[in-house]
Structure 1
């Protein structure tokens, strides 16, 4: 059964025994020097770093820069081959919220930028929004779909290399190879609180069975037991998603939604000798340290950097 209760940063060499993660601060001089001299690793993840992340290793790697739950906040983002944003682009799904986020994303230099919606991006889910817009926590002003989707998929988005996915597959070239990605905003409803793109437990199997085999899976919410533990100690991830990921076994599964569980985990599939990197890339803290509120995208909540060996 796919399950993990934790979330350390890690560097895992292929020689590590199946099921293990080797942890290290890859920004320290001794470790950086060791990385340059040792055989190529299948994956390197940087959850936190001072200033800039360690440069991409020499050789045949693709660098992914991961964002999630930015809620209309902006902050510095390191360069890379591919930028992935796993939803909650906005605070409350308004056009104004989205404009702030998209202007930021348009200006980023990444050659490939792929985004999905989250449960707070209310106006993106038109069937839900048209019935529930008065309860979204904003003044009662219905907003039409045209301007929203022009920002997400229109001329400026295309010029900025942005691809918006909503239960769709996309292929792209980066790092000298072709990659496939499937992006879905579908997220379990929490208790009785329905949100955008929400589904109830009885519908989970039907919805998630449509997810295809892919190199990269991007969902808004986590699988059950994988970087999904809340501050109250419960697991908020979807059991059906955990089951489906066990079948698909992507190289990389990116999500967010549960801010408290930000982290990364490498899972080795012993029967096939393959590995999935799971990353909860949430950038918005829900915790306060020493009486001070932490900043969105600030230290410890920066964009996550993942280098995958092609």
Structure 2
């Protein structure tokens, strides 16, 4: 648990700071129960096995002009946006130069809300000298509502994420289809201030039927709602993106934006997850949800369905369709300094 959860002087007007645990216990006790029950059951399920030959994907995001010293090797490096702070040509080019110099076979980038120059709508807010010149993307694949198909030559062997035996020996090929999009739901800028790129009004559907159905890796800057996005009490991600991810079910979804949400999880597209989403979407203005039957029913369903899926997995070896979700933010919280680990996923 982040220490910020225990800070009684937490500023509730700052969307990007975690809500203190004590405040959540008072204001959203049933959702707190629902959230922890769901994540406990997920943690007990077996990890999905990668396809063969396995592709190693190294995930970073929200570097904000920093260059992490130790980026693990892999087949594909993905940067999920907010390369910069000011978003001008010089800052973006410096990040491109760094990424292009890394040893990964392929490098894929989407923009974030701080990368102002890359959004034609916000570029004019930069001073003329900050938006002059052109970007040289070198060997970096920049995706802005764009699909990319890569043929990856896999050599040697990759160890699986749970340190089991090597998944592959020799050299083989895999075709990987990636789709990237930068847009995020608007937020109260508050202390962040300034101009932010690629924003759309919160609640607006900017996602339905936009991601190709055969996508293997989805890269966005925003998280999907209630997944690695400071889920409690409201979540900062997009509910329409979540529906789109559920429709497509990519093997991997990489994003960033919410620094405190950094980490990795597996989303199983089953009825337990449906109950979790339905419960998290319930809004109770009175009694903090304690007397809300829909919220209690969702909690019961999460436990009942989740235990059934867990037994099906662990006892009978059954598997539901799933997506590995990664919040790859590198900056630790709102410190402005690097601190989160680089995420590595084999798919």
Q: TM-score, with normalisation over the residues of structure 1?
A: 0.69
- Equivalent residues of 1:126, 1:145 under 8 A apart: no
Q: Indicate conservation of the 8 Å contact 1:66/1:84, yes or no.
A: yes
Of Structure 1 and Structure 2, the greater helix share is in 2
**Alpha-carbon shift at residue 205 of structure 1 (Å):** 1.9
**Is 1:86 the counterpart of 2:80 in the alignment?**
yes
- Aligned counterpart, 2:159: none
Which secondary structure does the structure 2 equivalent of 1:201 belong to? coil
2-structure distance, mates of 1:5, 1:252: 22
Q: Secondary structure at the match of 1:236?
A: coil
Partner of 1:229: 230
Q: Does 1:200 align with 2:206?
A: no
Report the count of equivalent residues. Answer: 241
CA distance in 1, matches of 2:238, 2:268: 20
Could you tell me which residue of structure 2 aligns to residue 151 of structure 1? 136
Secondary structure of the corresponding residue to residue 85 of structure 2: coil
Alignment equivalent of 1:276, drawn from 323, 334, 341: 323
2:315 paired residue number: none
Report the Cα offset of residue 119 of structure 1.
0.4
Please list the CA deviations of residues 96-136 of structure 1 after superposition, one character each: whole Å capped at 9, or x if unmatched.
Answer: 21232122112100011100100000011022222x33xxx
What is the aligned partner in structure 2 of residue 262 from structure 1? 262
Q: Do the aligned partners of 1:64 and 1:82 also contact (CA within 8 Å) in 2?
A: yes
Q: Does 1:173 align with 2:167?
A: no
CA offset at residue 178 of structure 1? 0.2
1:186 matched to 2:183 = yes
Question: 1: CA distance between counterparts of 2:331 and 2:343?
Answer: 13
Structure label with greater radius of gyration: 2
Distance 2:77 2:236 in 1: 26
The 10-residue stretch of structure 1 (186-195 or 171-180) with the greater mean CA deviation from structure 2 = 186-195
Following the alignment from structure 1 to structure 2, what is the Cα–Cα distance between the partners of residues 295 and 119? 18
Any unmatched runs of 5+ in structure 1? 11-18, 25-39, 45-58, 134-139, 288-292
- Corresponding residue for 1:71? 64
2:222 & 2:50 partners in 1: Cα distance? 22
Unaligned stretches of 5+ residues in structure 2: 1-33, 155-172, 272-318
Match of 2:49 in 1: 42
| Partner Cα separation in structure 2 for residue 180 and residue 77 of structure 1 | 23
Quote how far apart the aligned CAs of 1:237 are.
0.7
Partner Cα distance (2:330, 2:323) in 1: 22
